[in-house]
Structure 1
Amino acid sequence: MEISIWNGYVAGFAIGMFVILHFWLLGKPAGCSTGYGNLCGLAFPKVKFFRIGEYSNLNNSKLWFLIGIPLGGLVSALSSIDSWHLSFDMGLYEQVLPQTYSAKAIWLIFGGMLLGFGARLAGACTTGHALVGGAMLNPASLIAGAVFFTSALITTHLLFGF
C-alpha cells in the first residue's frame, strides 16, 4: 500500500496563504493557544489564568479555529481511508515514554498542560509566534520562534541522540 502525502512546498504555501487570508478577512492573527485558553475559560470561568478579555465566549474566531483543527484532521483521514488506520504507535517516542497506556496518557496529559501553560505565559504557541508573528516580522515572535526551535533541537538530541 502506497501512502501519498502532500509535498512540503505545497503544504507550506497553503499554511502561509491561510495565515495571510485569516488576517485579511478577520483582521486578527491566526493561532490556536488563545482558542484553547478560551475553551478552558468557558469550562472554568472562575480561574483568572484563562480569562482572555473579550474572547471568553463562544463568539470568537480563535475558538472556532481550534475546533476546526481536529475536524480538518478527521475530514482528511476519512477522505484518505485507504491509507489511514487507527494506531496507538508513538514512533520514536516509544523509546522514551512509559510502556503502559495509562502511564503514557498521564505523561502526555502532563506534557500538554506544560505546553499550554508555556504558550499562555509566552502570549502565543509556536504557531502563533513562528508562523504568524514571523510573517508579521514581530521581533518578540522571531526571538520566541528561534528559542522554540533551538529548544526542540536540543531536546531531540538529548532524548534520541540525533
Structure 2
Amino acid sequence: MKILYEPWPWYIAGPMIALVMFLLLMVGKNFGMSSNLRTMCTICGAGRNVDFFKFNWKAQRWNLVVVLGAIIGGFIASQFLSTDTAVAINPDVVANLNELGFESAGKAYLPTKLFDNSAFTDMKSLAILAIGGLLVGFGARYAGGCTSGHAISGLSNLQLPSLIAVIGFFAGGLFMIHVLFPLIF
C-alpha cells in the first residue's frame, strides 16, 4: 500500500538542511558521505596494509548513522511516499535521449539502459559504471571530499577550497554531459 505525499517544498527542506548544518558546526562536525567509505574500509581492516586507513574510526561512528539514515529514508520515500518517480524534463531533452537509445527518458527516475539489472550483463554498461565509479571515487579523494561534503558543509564553513571544488564539480558535470556523453552513446 502506497501512501501518497507531495515532496516538501524548498522553503521547508532548505531551512531544515541549514538547521542540521548549524547543529553540526556547533558540535565541531563536518558532513560528507565519501568519508564513510574510508571509515568502512578501516572497520574491515584496511589499516593493516595502508597507512591512510590508520585512524580512530570510532570518532566517525556518528557519520555512519547518517549513511544508514539515508538508506532507510530513501527506501521509505521510494516505497511509501512516492507517487510518480518519473523525472519531469524538457521534451527536447527527452527527444535527444531517445535518439541516443534511452527509451525510458521522462518515464523513469533513472535511465534503465544504465541502471537496469541488464547493465550487469552488458559489457559496455558495466564498463561505464565501473570507470565512472572509479573516477568519482578518485575525484572525491583528490578533492578532499564529495559533492555533499563540499557543497553543503564546506560552503557553510565559508571554505575557499570547497568553493573551488564545487565549481570544479559543476564544470566537470557540464563537460561530461555536453562533450563526453554524446561520444559514449
Query: By how many angstroms is 1:107 displaced?
Result: 3.1
Match of 2:149 in 1: 128
Distance in 1 of aligned mates of 2:59 and 2:28: 18
Match of 1:4 in 2: 6
After superposing the two structures, state which structure 1 stretch, 3-12 or 123-132, moved more: 3-12
Query: By how many angstroms is 1:40 displaced?
Result: 2.0
Match of 2:110 in 1: 90
Q: Percent identity?
A: 28
Query: By how many angstroms is 1:80 displaced?
Result: 1.4
Distance in 1 of aligned mates of 2:20 and 2:132: 28
With over 3 angstroms needed to count, the CA separation of the structure-2 counterparts of 1:8 and 1:108, relative to structure 1, is: farther
Contact persistence 2:34–2:145 (CA under 8 A): yes
| Larger-gyration structure (1/2) | 2
Q: SS in structure 2 opposite 1:145?
A: helix
Query: By how many angstroms is 1:44 displaced?
Result: 4.3
Match of 1:61 in 2: 62
Name the TM-score, length of structure 1 as normaliser.
0.74
With over 3 angstroms needed to count, the CA separation of the structure-2 counterparts of 1:81 and 1:21, relative to structure 1, is: same
Query: By how many angstroms is 1:61 displaced?
Result: 1.5
Query: By how many angstroms is 1:84 displaced?
Result: 6.1
Distance in 2 of aligned mates of 1:54 and 1:15: 27
With over 3 angstroms needed to count, the CA separation of the structure-2 counterparts of 1:79 and 1:98, relative to structure 1, is: closer
Query: By how many angstroms is 1:82 displaced?
Result: 5.0
Distance in 2 of aligned mates of 1:150 and 1:59: 31
Q: Matches of residues 13-92 of structure 1 in structure 2 within 5 Å? A: 13-24=15-26, 26-45=27-46, 46-48=48-50, 51=53, 53-55=55-57, 57=58, 60-80=61-81, 83=84, 90-91=110-111
- Which of 142, 149, 155 pairs up with 2:170? 149
CA RMSD of aligned residues (A): 3.4
Distance in 2 of aligned mates of 1:131 and 1:18: 10
With over 3 angstroms needed to count, the CA separation of the structure-2 counterparts of 1:89 and 1:126, relative to structure 1, is: closer
Q: What do the CA deviations read for 1:58-82 (whole angstroms, capped 9, x no partner)?
A: 8622222222211121122233165
Q: SS in structure 2 opposite 1:38?
A: helix
Distance in 1 of aligned mates of 2:74 and 2:157: 27
- Which of 107, 117, 127 pairs up with 2:138? 117
After superposing the two structures, state which structure 1 stretch, 101-110 or 123-132, moved more: 101-110
- Equivalent residues, number: 154
After superposing the two structures, state which structure 1 stretch, 38-47 or 117-126, moved more: 38-47
Structure 1 runs (4+) greater than 6 angstroms displaced: none
